Structure 1
Amino acid sequence: MPVQRRTPEPDTEPTVSLREPLESLRATFRGTVLTPDDEGYEEARQVWNGMIDRHPAVIARCSGVADVVQAVTFARDQGLSLAVRGGGHNVAGTAVCDDGLVVDLSEMNGVHVDREAMTVRAEGGATLGDVDRETQLFGLATPLGVVSKTGIAGLTLNGGVGHLRRKYGLACDNLRSVELVTAAGEVVTASADEHSDLFWAIQGGGGNFGVVTSFEYTLYEVGPEVFGMFVVHDREHVAEALRLTREFAADAPREASVLPILGFVPEMEEFPAERWGDPMVAILGCHLGPTEAGEATLAPFRELGTPIGDFSGPMPFTDLQCLLDEEFPDGLNYYWKATYLTDLDDDLVDVLVRRWEACPSKLSTVDVWQLGGAIADRPQDASAFWHRDKPYMLTFEANWEDPADTDANVAWVRESIDEVRELPGVVGGYGNFPGFHEDPSQALFGENIDKLVAVKTKYDPENLFRLNQNVEPRVSEEA
């Protein structure tokens, strides 16, 4: 089935002309209001995933929380679909919508570090790079992702898996509080002490509950230098690398994490030109302790054979956070899906290798994330994020250039995920690698779904925030 590059959302047409309401909005809005006839609109509607080609009726580029309140109120009152843009990096393209309103937070990217409290507060439009730049000034960090251009908002609301995951948990596990604009246009603070039900829900429940205008995270002493590993081996070592990951995960120290990536040698000057496009396994990892300990702990992955390239060694934490940036440029086409593994046995390894060899694009990868450690410390019902007890996450990431190849690449991901999910111990999905949200919400939220429905019904009974892995509110019996 062809994938539509422009998919209008249901019931997005406003019931009345927007001309007069827009004039009223513009009169008091401090940021910038863009419509299709305005200069800058075309650029403002672009997002990271080149596969997404949507045309909002209004883009409200907010300068502060008051603008966010106005934008949410406008969308609700005019009957418009509402999308929220933080970093614009969500692979499903939920940062923009057809014919609706985009609450654009990209200019709200301030970051403030409180060294005494060991916290950082970042606005909803900040990226990982924005946060790392400020926190690493003091040798501090909070768990986020692995690509510096990723927005913190979507990453955190859906869980957030990064280099610090095994030592300090998910991004959402390290939230102290958030400031949020509800569907009613109210500004609330959610924490363990205030609106605790809402705070529980936004820790992994996605963008279902409002627009988060700022996030407060716990900080830890990290860096400024860590031991980073990025080693690339030949195709013949692929199965061996996955089996080694299984052995390593059995008793790995929490300071260490690894991520084997089945792919193809990129066309980069760091690799011999004659090897470009060859099948490979790259192992990305890090160790947060002393260099000697990191080198010794991760040595088995570097000694599988004679590597095609080995870029491992002591490096600034900020450099580690940028290692994958060039692999995911703006405008490439992306379609990713994930699931969780209770084991990495030989039968599963055989399936992963076979599905990888069948991928239609040499830019695509199959990734196995080592989890465990601090992620699994919290009970599954301690936050909305359910699958924290699984030791691995598996992702099929289709990346390709030519739009004509879209169907083949999307089919490869879907068929691969479907086949893997038929195996024992393979379950669920991850909100940051969701395809186009075609899986049921319970695949992500498990037994937390009923509580999420209750929170959704309380804070967004009309389902204004629905362009996500949607949790539908309970319908009133009186309706």
Structure 2
Amino acid sequence: MIKKLLNVPNTQAEDYDIEGIIDYIDDDFIENLKKDKFCKKPLMICSGGTSSRCAAKEHITIDFRKNYTEIDYIDFKKEVVIEPGTRMQDLGKFLKSKNRSFPTGLSGLTGFGYILTGGISPTSRKYGLAIDNILEINGIWGGGEKFNIIKPDQNSSKLEKKQWKGLCGAAPFLAIVTQVKLKTYELNSIYIWEASISSNQLAEIIEKAELWPDNASFNWIWSDYIKGLAIIEVSNKEELEYMKIIVKELPKTSDLKISKINGLSTFKGMELPISNNQVISRYYSEVLGLLSNSLKGHSYVLVQMIEEEIRNRPNKFCYIAAQQLGGSTINNAENLTSFIHRESAWKPWINGSWEPNNKRERDQAIIWMENVWEKLEPYCPGIHLAQLHNHLPWHAKEINCAFKNWLPELRQIKSTFDPKEILPPL
């Protein structure tokens, strides 16, 4: 074990005085899991380093980024096998060289956790969530037993189906995943409409976007002003013509940009819309991901609520954003994942930020996040648990909203395969 600070994109995690880093999984490590020899639990996992809980004060972090970055493409099956240190932008670039793609997210900096916690992509309406595209999982249960599980079919046992369901969406609570095999898709052109919009325009586009075909999705981010992004994948002439219709109906603002990229690997993400180019070099943040059903007939009321909360935010670096679901993300007849909110049409998320080591600002940001959640909850009853918050007061509520009726069985799986709670608690 190496004792040092963790060099990661998340500044809050980077500044923790951690117990040490494990960067190689060997037989001694597995024996320590089995014999429960880790004094400070839970263990933290770092694959991309974008989450605030890839490290914690006086805890050990398993850092996969140095020794577990292998990507192996199986050409005749059009499948890819990746290790947990693989960032999504690296996966995208690798697949692009094979003329293939995978539904990666709005940020290419995210790691393996993006996939294991659900994985909502601008192309998920067409291809499903990242977890819907997992074919095989290898790893070590929190109790120290190794496993290799293939996506269940009609011949699989009840236990295999429960294990798979737990790992696809709740893996961070159950196991240390060391490898996954994924489906890939043909690489296609992606058109991006990007513009600053008013609150009324936002509400109008939300209503319209719910009628778009599955190859199109709408995303927005609201700080000092609102920036909207329509992301449309085009694979044939019919989709090209429909893309033109969508873009024609969207607002034509002074800063409108329409661009074309070859796959998501070169997508630069959504920039925080702040006036006067104000920036700070370092800040801490937490992110709370909500889930809502269709907003048809409710978008104007919801946008008015958000506008009021934006006015009340404690600083310019707190914001609210959203990405669109629906289409293929609804199709989960097999009930094989822990992402149970399949009826969801939108994922709004709340970002609270503060200056490092400023407790007053931190308290204000956390309270603001809780207030926003309370206001939006009637329209956003679900939670997408893309980040772990067992260090925050809302952890229990968040877990219940994320897994609902599945939670008792999920806890049973944890008690069986991570009985000493080596990994984060449920």
Q: Is the 8 A contact 2:291 2:346 kept in 1?
A: yes
Distance 2:171 2:408 in 1: 15
Compare relative contact order (CA 8 Å, sep 6+) and give the higher one, 1 or 2. 2
Distance 1:433 1:285, change over 3 A: farther
Q: CA deviation at 1:284?
A: 4.6
Q: Which secondary structure state, in structure 2, belongs to the residue aligned with residue 207 of structure 1?
A: helix
Distance 1:366 1:300 in 2: 26
Distance 2:99 2:125 in 1: 19
- The corresponding residue for 1:185 is 144
| AA aligned opposite 2:45 | V
Q: Is the 8 A contact 1:159 1:204 kept in 2?
A: yes
| 1:410 aligns to 2:366 (yes or no) | yes
User: Which whole-Å deviations, capped at 9, do the CAs of 1:2-26 have from their partners, x for residues lacking one?
Assistant: xxxxxxxxxxxxxxxxxxxxxxxxx
- The corresponding residue for 2:195 is 232
Larger radius of gyration: 1
Distance 1:241 1:171, change over 3 A: same
Aligned with 1:298 (options 240, 246, 257): 246
Identical positions, percent: 16
Distance 2:92 2:28 in 1: 26
- The corresponding residue for 1:18 is none
- The corresponding residue for 2:202 is 241
Q: Which runs of 5+ in 1 are unaligned?
A: 1-32, 36-40, 265-278, 472-479
User: Which whole-Å deviations, capped at 9, do the CAs of 1:257-303 have from their partners, x for residues lacking one?
Assistant: 11122223xxxxxxxxxxxxxx23332523233483364143156x4
Q: Give the aligned CA root-mean-square deviation in angstroms.
A: 2.7
TM-score, length basis structure 1? 0.77
Q: CA deviation at 1:464?
A: 1.4
Distance 1:318 1:67 in 2: 40
| 1:103 aligns to 2:62 (yes or no) | yes
- The corresponding residue for 1:11 is none
The correspondence of residues 345-424 of structure 1 with structure 2, limited to 5 A, is 345=298, 346-379=300-333, 381-401=335-355, 403-404=357-358, 405-421=361-377, 423=378
The correspondence of residues 220-369 of structure 1 with structure 2, limited to 5 A, is 220-223=185-188, 225-229=189-193, 231-234=194-197, 237-249=198-210, 251-264=211-224, 279-290=225-236, 292-293=240-241, 295-300=243-248, 303-310=250-257, 312-318=258-264, 320-324=266-270, 331-344=282-295, 345=298, 346-369=300-323
Q: Which secondary structure state, in structure 1, belongs to the residue aligned with residue 37 of structure 2?
A: helix
- The corresponding residue for 2:107 is 147
Q: Is the 8 A contact 1:178 1:215 kept in 2?
A: yes
Aligned with 1:86 (options 43, 47, 50): 47
| 1:201 aligns to 2:166 (yes or no) | yes
Aligned with 1:57 (options 1, 19, 42): 19
Distance 1:357 1:284 in 2: 25
TM-score, length basis structure 2? 0.86
Q: CA deviation at 1:401?
A: 4.4
| AA aligned opposite 1:356 | I
Distance 1:306 1:326, change over 3 A: closer
Distance 1:383 1:335, change over 3 A: same
Distance 2:240 2:135 in 1: 34
Q: CA deviation at 1:164?
A: 1.7
Q: CA deviation at 1:318?
A: 4.1
Aligned with 2:134 (options 155, 165, 175): 175
Q: Which secondary structure state, in structure 2, belongs to the residue aligned with residue 77 of structure 1?
A: coil
- The corresponding residue for 2:409 is 451
Distance 1:307 1:330, change over 3 A: same
Q: Which secondary structure state, in structure 1, belongs to the residue aligned with residue 18 of structure 2?
A: coil
Q: CA deviation at 1:319?
A: 5.0
The correspondence of residues 106-125 of structure 1 with structure 2, limited to 5 A, is 106-107=65-66, 108-125=68-85
| AA aligned opposite 2:48 | G
Distance 1:329 1:445 in 2: 36
Q: Is the 8 A contact 1:381 1:448 kept in 2?
A: no
Aligned with 2:125 (options 159, 166, 169): 166
Q: Which secondary structure state, in structure 2, belongs to the residue aligned with residue 258 of structure 1?
A: strand
Distance 1:66 1:113 in 2: 28
Distance 2:317 2:107 in 1: 16
Q: Is the 8 A contact 1:112 1:134 kept in 2?
A: no
| AA aligned opposite 1:112 | D
Q: Which secondary structure state, in structure 1, belongs to the residue aligned with residue 90 of structure 2?
A: helix
| AA aligned opposite 2:72 | H
Distance 1:177 1:428 in 2: 27
